[in-house]
């Protein structure tokens, strides 16, 4: 495994060669905006998730701290700033042809995503690469609404969409299945019991879509 410090140094060299200075990167600039809005940027956290970077400006992965009117206003300001800076920097295409954008405003933080890297593309890889029928796919997400990072999956007809978030836009094959990790766990356990009994997978998905698969649903309030 490459030495982490060496990787850091190599990345710093690459950044400098493209005209970027670490201390003055987009996140550093956004922290200044955050500070001017009355929040402590030292509490913010950054998560690297493969093809995306999630910046939790309030240092919390739960949605609760982001629900206040002030937090929502600041998030809106930060998104506008990020989108403006990315446009000025040609969406960071200097590091690769795909570019980076912020398409999913969701409910928490700010997410920077490599263009073309989303739930729809990943699922289409399964459909096309493995010859998998979309009607045999179950997708669970907590942001199945306009602007949510799970919502792109709706572009693939036939996929059963199980929402475990506080907000859900209705649609074909969309099922509101409770809220949070506990709801997700309950669904997994119920589906596993059905499979252990030898029930057909497509029949299980049909039952979920038609409401015949009763679950212990939990309030999102």
**What residue ranges define each of the domains in the chain, with the CATH number in brackets?**
4-114 (3.30.1240), 119-210 (no CATH)
Q: What is the residue-averaged pLDDT of the chain?
A: 87
CA distance 145 to 2: 40
pLDDT at position 221, please? 43
Between vectors from CA 15 to CA 53 and to CA 98, what angle results, nearest 5°?
A: 55
- DSSP string computed for 172-187: TTEEE--SHHHHHHHH
**Which has the higher per-residue pLDDT, 17 or 79?**
79
Distance CA(208)–CA(40), nearest Å, equals 44
C-alpha span between 97 and 102 (Å, rounded): 16
Please give the residue that has the higher pLDDT: either 216 or 156. 156
Q: What is the mean pLDDT of residues 134-143?
A: 93
Q: Are 178 and 164 in contact (CB under 8 A)?
A: yes
For residue 51, what pLDDT band results from cuts at 50, 70 and 90?
A: confident
């Amino acid at each position: 495994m490459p030495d982490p410090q060496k990787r850091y140094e190599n990345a710093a060299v690459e950044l400098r060669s493209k005209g970027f200075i670490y201390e003055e990167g987009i996140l550093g600039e956004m922290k200044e905006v955050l500070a001017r809005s009355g929040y402590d940027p030292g509490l913010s956290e950054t998560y690297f998730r493969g093809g995306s970077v999630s910046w939790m400006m309030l240092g919390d992965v739960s949605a609760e701290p982001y629900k206040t009117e002030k937090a929502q206003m600041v998030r809106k300001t930060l998104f506008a700033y990020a989108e403006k800076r990315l446009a000025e920097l040609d969406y960071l295409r200097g590091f690769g042809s795909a570019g980076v954008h912020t398409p999913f405003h969701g409910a928490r933080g700010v997410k920077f995503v490599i263009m073309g890297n989303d739930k729809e593309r990943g699922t289409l890889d399964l459909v096309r690469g493995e010859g998998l029928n979309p009607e045999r796919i179950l997708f669970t997400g907590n942001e199945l609404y306009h602007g949510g990072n799970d919502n792109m999956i709706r572009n693939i007809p036939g996929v059963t969409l199980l929402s475990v978030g506080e907000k859900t836009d209705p649609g074909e094959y969309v099922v509101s299945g409770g809220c949070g990790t506990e709801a997700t766990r309950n669904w997994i356990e119920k589906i596993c019991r059905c499979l252990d009994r030898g029930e057909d997978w497509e029949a299980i998905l049909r039952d979920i879509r038609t409401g015949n698969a009763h679950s212990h649903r939990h309030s999102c309030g």
